[in-house]
Structure 1
Amino acid sequence: MTSTQQGHPGMLPARPGLRLWSTLLQMAALGTFGMVFISVLAAWFAAGVALTFLLGFGLILLTGLLYVVFGTARMEVRRVADLYRLQVPDLYWIRQQAPGFGAWVRSLLKNLGHGRMWAAFGSFAVSCFLGTTMLGGLEWMIRLSITSFAPLTESESISGPFGLTVPASDAPWMFLVAILGAALAVGMIFLHRVITVSIVGTSALQTELTERVRTTTVQREGAMRAAELERTRIERDLHDGVQPRLVSVAMTLGLAHQQIDTDPQQAKALVAEAHASTKSAITELRQLTRGIYASVLDDRGLDAALSAIAGRSHIPVQLDVQLAGRYPRHAEAAVYFAIAEALTNAAKHSRASSCRVTVRERTGENAQRTLWARIEDNGTGGARITPGGGLDGITNRVAAAGGTFTLDSPQGGPTALEVSVPCAS
């Protein structure tokens, strides 16, 4: 990370003189127009609350106000970050996770409780108040400086700032008060820096730490759930497939051993049957180990591994993979198994006649590389995530890798799954 300036973590060095003047100009603008803007927002809020019971029209006003507050808060984060060279992430709107009006309402409620947004908006309000105070100090400084020269005129009294009238005999003392006004203005500038950097920087740090804890918790739970599902699947496959076949091989060899002296031909036939069952058991074990991890991923990469899946699929698969080189092992494995499980589910349940798999590398927020895959089939749709099912396994595998998974499968089809896994090692 870039070196930091003393006084606040995450602050980059900048020219102090230029930053001082930039702060002065910004505070002057906020002091001039900011309080008017806040007054408009307050009136907007009051109108929204008052009209809420009038056919719900006020809810529309309040919804629009939320968007305006968010835009103001995001602007404040960018302003403070650019002014004081802070390394803080931008403020992003929490988008709806699914289509529909209900998902949009839930998104609004999440943004309504967005703590970092309200902290940034509070920083904007404080900045407006400090800007107004700074302008007052500047007015004291300028007008009292002029007032201090009253003895040079023939006036008995001089009008000071804020409607004050100063006797001409006391005018020389006003120069000292003008110095206090200048000190007040400068103090507001430095106070603005302390407060806004603390609010914007601290809220961003808390948000980042909270998100890291949430992500780590989700990944841990997903990994534990995926491991449990994988263990259950292995036990089921061994119990239902390989184990009975091996028991049959042992029984067949036992019968051959009993008949090897009395009926050699029958014993040879039994040995041949046991040999064929053994090869089938070996094939099943290979398929089982391939389900745990595909060695072709390590040998030839994700593109070749997906080509092998498409070749074995019972449904014709149109594969469209455009990748640049290799990726971290956990990312390739998560995408590989998500596609493999999705194709298996499509073959078992969807009654689809074709399937399309698209894989790309994408660049997300903060220039983070991700592996993105979309699996579409023309089946009957209606796919749902059920505990212990194949889609549940995909969800947990992707979550354990720190990725996201979305499913769109209306009744009647088609079904589309999207998987996005970060490539950070």
Structure 2
Amino acid sequence: MQRTGTILATVAHLALLGSMGIPVLITIVVLTATGIGTLVVLVGFLLLALALLLMFAVAWFERERIAGLYRAPVPPAVFRDSPRTDWLRVPHRLLRIVTDGQHWRAILSFFLASVFGGITLPLLGLVGLGVPLALAGLGAAETVTIPLTSFAAPVEWAPLLGILALAAGVAGTIGLAIAHRNVTVGLLVPDDRERLEQQARDERDRRHGAVRAADLDRTRIERDLHDGVQPRLVSIAMQLGMARDRIEADPEGAKALIEEAHASSKSAVTELRQLARGIHVAVLDDRGLDAAVSALAARSPIPVEVDARLDRRCSRDAETAVYFAIAEAITNAQKHARASRIRVAIRTRQEPDGPTDAQGQVAQAQPGTVPAAHPHATLWARIEDDGIGGAERQIGGGIDGLAHRVAGVGGTLTLTSPAGGPTAIEVTVPCAS
């Protein structure tokens, strides 16, 4: 029964696409050709943009149609970002999106479904023709005229012709429905090889992000040691050496130098503690992300509002990546943004295919329990300041290092910082990274 319902639904889809699909595709082709022909004026770019939007709309419609019709695991559209940071970032991203095969496969599936639909319509007409012919023998006429033609056949032949037309129409329609399923599912649902190749590409990107983040962290630590702690320790050694030389001839001067060295040693210890905190955050392991970010906000000279709603502990890598993204965003706001206020929001989110309750809502943790990181859960954070904006991701910079650190655990980082502000950084990381 379920298979019969699916076939009937497929026939209905094909009939609809047979009448509407080809005109939609022709419209896209005409807009594209006209846009290319009028690129010398602004209207050409507008027509190309409209054609691109229609293509994405068709691709989205086809993916949703196949996923809903066959309950198939069609992957959602991914609009690939560009790793560039210069003025070519936007056109490069558009180029990556346009050249992404998943969109073209969806459009090809829509085209083939429209062609199948164009064939389905006359087959349905054949079914409609066969029914009255099969019943024509019940009448009193000696001959019967075949509809849509001037051919007249003896009434004795009408039931046979009707049954043949009905059988051909039904068989052809069912065959097209089955072919449509096989073709479209084959185009839009990745097979095991394609899935494994995609997983390999994702792992390669994560490994590259982790290596790049580790390299940037090493460079930062070396810079902080060379420019901060090392000169202070050299200064302490010089002050103690001068005090040793003066301790007999000028005891008061030696005492003053020792006091300066003592104060410098305290500052060096503080810098080392801050440097160690930038490598490993003990409170993050002991008390979780909420406590670690709250401690970070308490040390900030700019007021930081923390809104954390976490119903579970995520993996150490996920929490560490999000913590350092928040720390770097707060530091940038203090140093460069001239911000007067910072807001940090942190959430754990459940993907739609995660566990839900009876009402279809995401299942929440029971009070007093700490649920384990679910494979479909994500850790999300947004850091926004009211500064002057204009922040950019520059190669080797802090935001670039954060993006690689987040990519190393399978997450994404998005920066929005128009001139005049505000600056917002959003981080999404799989909870089970």
Q: TM-score, normalised by structure 2?
A: 0.73
Within 2, Cα distance between the matches of 1:124 and 1:165?
38
Within 2, Cα distance between the matches of 1:363 and 1:356?
22
Match of 2:412 in 1: 403
Match of 2:365 in 1: none
Which AA in structure 2 matches 1:338?
Answer: A
Counterpart check, 1:343 vs 2:352: no
**CA 1:409 to 1:204, structure 2 compared with 1: closer, same or farther past 3 Å?**
farther
| 1:255-270 alignment, distance < 5 Å | 269=255
Which AA in structure 1 matches 2:180?
Answer: H
Within 2, Cα distance between the matches of 1:282 and 1:342?
25
How much has 1:86 moved relative to structure 2?
0.9
How much has 1:85 moved relative to structure 2?
1.5
Within 2, Cα distance between the matches of 1:239 and 1:422?
33
- C-alpha offsets along residues 399-424 of structure 1, whole Å, 9 cap, x if unaligned? 333221304152xx445131312242
Within 1, Cα distance between the matches of 2:116 and 2:286?
63
Counterpart check, 1:320 vs 2:320: no
Counterpart check, 1:38 vs 2:38: no
- After TM superposition, the structure 1 stretch with the greater mean CA deviation from structure 2, 191-200 or 66-75, is 66-75
| 1:251-330 alignment, distance < 5 Å | 269=255, 278-313=265-300, 315-325=301-311, 326-330=313-317
- C-alpha offsets along residues 298-332 of structure 1, whole Å, 9 cap, x if unaligned? 2222233223323333x322323232244332233
Which AA in structure 2 matches 1:79?
Answer: R
For the 8 Å contact 1:70–1:117, the answer to whether it is kept is yes
- C-alpha offsets along residues 163-217 of structure 1, whole Å, 9 cap, x if unaligned? 47364386576367333443222222222221122122239995x7676555444
Which AA in structure 2 matches 1:39?
Answer: P
**CA 1:357 to 1:188, structure 2 compared with 1: closer, same or farther past 3 Å?**
same
Per the alignment, in what secondary structure is the counterpart of residue 117 of structure 1? helix
| 1:49-68 alignment, distance < 5 Å | 49-50=33-34, 52-53=37-38, 55=41, 57=43, 59-68=45-54
Which AA in structure 2 matches 1:297?
Answer: L
**CA 1:218 to 1:406, structure 2 compared with 1: closer, same or farther past 3 Å?**
farther
Within 2, Cα distance between the matches of 1:346 and 1:40?
49
Within 1, Cα distance between the matches of 2:6 and 2:200?
35
Match of 2:359 in 1: none
Which AA in structure 2 matches 1:340?
Answer: A
Which of 419, 422, 425 aligns to 2:429? It is 422
- C-alpha offsets along residues 72-102 of structure 1, whole Å, 9 cap, x if unaligned? 332222222222121223446779999xx99
**CA 1:320 to 1:397, structure 2 compared with 1: closer, same or farther past 3 Å?**
same
Which AA in structure 1 matches 2:378?
Answer: R
Counterpart check, 1:29 vs 2:16: yes
Within 2, Cα distance between the matches of 1:47 and 1:234?
54
Which AA in structure 2 matches 1:318?
Answer: V
Match of 1:9 in 2: none
Per the alignment, in what secondary structure is the counterpart of residue 202 of structure 1? coil
Which AA in structure 1 matches 2:29?
Answer: F
How much has 1:224 moved relative to structure 2?
1.7
How much has 1:289 moved relative to structure 2?
0.4
Per the alignment, in what secondary structure is the counterpart of residue 87 of structure 1? coil
- After TM superposition, the structure 1 stretch with the greater mean CA deviation from structure 2, 63-72 or 296-305, is 63-72
**CA 1:349 to 1:191, structure 2 compared with 1: closer, same or farther past 3 Å?**
closer
Per the alignment, in what secondary structure is the counterpart of residue 193 of structure 1? helix
Which of 228, 233, 247 aligns to 2:215? It is 228
Which of 370, 374, 385 aligns to 1:376? It is 385
Match of 2:66 in 1: 80
- After TM superposition, the structure 1 stretch with the greater mean CA deviation from structure 2, 190-199 or 112-121, is 112-121
- Between the aligned residues of both structures, percent identity stands at 36
Within 2, Cα distance between the matches of 1:184 and 1:406?
54
How much has 1:108 moved relative to structure 2?
5.9
| 1:346-361 alignment, distance < 5 Å | 346-350=333-337, 352=338, 354-361=340-347
Within 1, Cα distance between the matches of 2:351 and 2:88?
26
How much has 1:105 moved relative to structure 2?
6.9
**CA 1:309 to 1:268, structure 2 compared with 1: closer, same or farther past 3 Å?**
same
Which AA in structure 2 matches 1:18?
Answer: G
For the 8 Å contact 2:246–2:254, the answer to whether it is kept is no
How much has 1:147 moved relative to structure 2?
4.3
Within 1, Cα distance between the matches of 2:393 and 2:44?
38
Q: Which structure carries more helix by proportion?
A: 1
Within 1, Cα distance between the matches of 2:136 and 2:400?
84
**CA 1:231 to 1:170, structure 2 compared with 1: closer, same or farther past 3 Å?**
same
- After TM superposition, the structure 1 stretch with the greater mean CA deviation from structure 2, 341-350 or 242-251, is 242-251
Which of 160, 176, 199 aligns to 2:187? It is 199
Which AA in structure 2 matches 1:131?
Answer: G
Q: TM-score, normalised by structure 1?
A: 0.74
Per the alignment, in what secondary structure is the counterpart of residue 134 of structure 1? helix
| 1:239-250 alignment, distance < 5 Å | 239-246=226-233
Counterpart check, 1:183 vs 2:167: no
Per the alignment, in what secondary structure is the counterpart of residue 86 of structure 1? coil
Q: Greater relative contact order: 1 or 2 (C-alpha under 8 angstroms, separation 6 or more)?
A: 2
Counterpart check, 1:71 vs 2:71: no
**CA 1:25 to 1:405, structure 2 compared with 1: closer, same or farther past 3 Å?**
closer
**CA 1:156 to 1:420, structure 2 compared with 1: closer, same or farther past 3 Å?**
same
**CA 1:137 to 1:218, structure 2 compared with 1: closer, same or farther past 3 Å?**
same
Within 2, Cα distance between the matches of 1:322 and 1:68?
40
Q: Structure 2: give runs of 5+ residues left out of the alignment.
A: 354-376
